[in-house]
Structures are given as structure tokens and as C-alpha cells.
């Protein structure tokens, strides 16, 4: 069986800085034709975007898709709310988690999978300031170790 073709278009690195990601889900996204063309060109930004689960649907707020330059009248509002496509059971489970446990739904990345635009959504818990400092310190330590190993192997 051939490996799945996945091309990452955009990542939300701020989400990994601000949240602990407990679980990840793949969702389709409802788009207009010119939005798909713009995303294929890489004109998408996930910074400050978030998801809301309500009434058995999940909506993505704050994702910016730049207007397609050849799209003229067919272009949509770049920051419009977009519906995510998931199984009903998954949506209801996520909705329950978000209501009870203090979780948030955060888009982590947008990618192409077999020519379809997909969004990776993370079930996230917020980090406190000291957690962010600890994460940054661990990242710096790992980087220093890699740098030391790299210079030693030369």
C-alpha cells in the first residue's frame, strides 16, 4: 500500500507555545473554489484562529485565506467562519470535552491529503506562564545538546 501523500500548507506554531495538545483530529473543511486555489498556493494563516463546537457542528474562526488574485467576484471574505467536516460522534465527543474539562479546540495545521484540504484540530489545555518557561528551557537544552553532538562528530 503506498504511503499517503500529505503536503503541509500552514502550521500554527503559536498553538504549541500556548497549549498542551492532548489529542489530534483530522477534519475536512468547507471552502469555496477560489479559497481552495489560494490555499494550494500557500496563502493561508492560522495565527490566532480557534474552533467552536456548537449545535453538532464545529466552526473555524480567525483563519485567514488571502483572496485568489484571479478570482475577481468569486472571492470570499478572507476571515469568514468556515465549517469543519467531521463525523457526528466525534463532534459530540469533542463538544462534551470542551464543555466539561476546560479544553479548547485549536487548529494545528492545514494540509493537502490526496488533493483534499484537511485541517488538523487539537484538543488543547492552556499553558500557564511557568509551563511556557519550562517548555522554552527544555527546547533550548535540546538544541544545545544537538549542537554539541554535531560539533563533536566533525
What is the sign of the dihedral through the CA atoms of 76, 114, 24 and 27? positive
What is the sign of the dihedral through the CA atoms of 113, 118, 124 and 127? positive
| pLDDT tens string 96-137 | 888 888 788 999 999 999 889 999 999 988 877 877 888 888
CATH for the 6-126 domain, from 3.90.1150.10, 2.40.30.10, 3.40.47.10, 2.40.280.10: 2.40.280.10
Ordered by start, the domain boundaries in the chain are 6-126
Q: What integer pLDDT is reported at residue 20 of this predicted model?
A: 85
Q: DSSP per residue over 86-151, as a string?
A: --HHHHHHHHHHHHHH--EEEEEEEEEETTEEEEEEEEEEEPPHHHHHHHHHHHHHHHHHHHHHHH
**pTM score above 0.85:** no
Amino acid at each position: 500500500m503506498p504511503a499517503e501523500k500529505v503536503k503541509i500548507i500552514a502550521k500554527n506554531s503559536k498553538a504549541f507555545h500556548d497549549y498542551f495538545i492532548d489529542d489530534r483530529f483530522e477534519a475536512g473543511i468547507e471552502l469555496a473554489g477560489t479559497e481552495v486555489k489560494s490555499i494550494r498556493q500557500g496563502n493561508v494563516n492560522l495565527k490566532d484562529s480557534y474552533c467552536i463546537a456548537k449545535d453538532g457542528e464545529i466552526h473555524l474562526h480567525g483563519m485567514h485565506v488571502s483572496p485568489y488574485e484571479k478570482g475577481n467576484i468569486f472571492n470570499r471574505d478572507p476571515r469568514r467562519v468556515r465549517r469543519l467536516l467531521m463525523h457526528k460522534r466525534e463532534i459530540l465527543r469533542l463538544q462534551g470535552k470542551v464543555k466539561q474539562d476546560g479544553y479548547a479546540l485549536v487548529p494545528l495545521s492545514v494540509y493537502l491529503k490526496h488533493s483534499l484540504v484537511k485541517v488538523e484540530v487539537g484538543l488543547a489545555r492552556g499553558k500557564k506562564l511557568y509551563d511556557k518557561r519550562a517548555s522554552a528551557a527544555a527546547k533550548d537544552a535540546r538544541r544545545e545538546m544537538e549542537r554539541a553532538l554535531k560539533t563533536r562528530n566533525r
